Amino acid sequence: MKTLFGELADGTKVSSWFLENGGTRLRVLDYGGIVQSLEIPDRDGRYANVSLGFDTIEDYIAGSPYFGALIGRYGNRVAEGRFTLDGENHQLPLNDGAHSLHGGTEGFDRRVWEVEPFTDGPDVGLHLYLTSVDGEMGYPGTLEVKVTYTLTGGGDWRIDYEATTDKATFVNLTSHVYWNLAGEGTGSVQDHELEIAASRYLPVDPGLIPTGEPADVAGTPFDFREAKAIGRDLRVAHQQLLYSKGVDHNYVLDKGLTARPEHAAGLRDPSSGRTLTIATTEPGLQFYSGNFLDGTLVGTGGNIYRQGDALCLETQRFPDSPNQPSFPSTLLRPGQTYRTTTIHSFGC
């Protein structure tokens, strides 16, 4: 079902698309491919929206920290917004201190996507299309992007990313949903129990750029190999936590880069019983513990979002890969097709 959500300053209309299948309800904006809400039931069958968002397009434009958005052309940080490709230097916009974050000042989260609904047997979904022209936000090559959101008959939310280019470029697409399985606006997620299938993570410098060498999670606050409450170790005196005011780090998934989605993480809210399991083809998972939510944003439920009121689990390649050749490559050349898949499974 498609409805009018709002209008941009240039008169472009923004639509909202509603999908329901297998007990999951999903509302998506064509602006930024944003998941405005995702509703699932608790152990007693009561529905709640478990993703943070806004009620108006004006709020998304004015102050969204990427709530629910599709991120591109490059998810996460690129050091000093610079990289060299085939002997040519490229400069990106700096929108995170001295670095470029999530595609720059006008990333894919601020573009209006073309949307095509579909039904495929027991599944329903949306195809989202976007063309990013050569030189946009400093990236070379015209990139043709297709992202498919599918709600399966079993209630899973599946994301399939595809992209092709006419010139060598770097690509790292992801989704930036802020999760609170108790329901958005209900308060802190520090009692949520999180498990990440990763024995190593990427330490960062003060600008949150990976230093290059993965470190073992064993004996650190970053160890989520067995499920534990998110808040259990957040106040441990560890330099990496001080840099990011919590966790904002990329985990090196034990499974690595895989042809088919494999288990990456699990999340559980003890109060409602709701669970989220993530499987992906990607080798990395950025865990962000909502450190920079500062009490200045009012969400869809009319409540203020404060630090730690949600978390993000972003499947992706590693940050700053264009400048770190030891990391899994994000290079896409003409004739190649970028493809990744992430599946979110819900339960209680």
Distance CA 15, CA 5 (A): 5
Q: pLDDT tens, 51-83?
A: 999 999 999 999 899 999 999 999 999 999 999
At 210 the pLDDT is 98
Q: Where are the domains of the chain?
A: 2-347
Over range 271-286, report the average pLDDT.
98
Q: Among all residues, which ones are annotated catalytic?
A: 176, 314
**Averaged pLDDT of the chain:** 97
Share of the chain above pLDDT 90, in %: 99
Over range 304-310, report the average pLDDT.
97
Query: What CATH class is the domain 2-347?
Result: mainly beta
pLDDT at 110 over 90: yes
At 63 the pLDDT is 85
Q: Partners of 158 in the beta sheet?
A: 150, 343
Distance CA 313, CA 89 (A): 31
Residue 176: C-alpha distances to residues 66, 82, 168, 214, 266 (Å): 6, 23, 25, 23, 17
pLDDT at 1 over 90: no
Q: pLDDT tens, 232-263?
A: 999 999 999 999 999 999 999 999 999 999 99
pLDDT at 321 over 90: yes
At 241 the pLDDT is 97
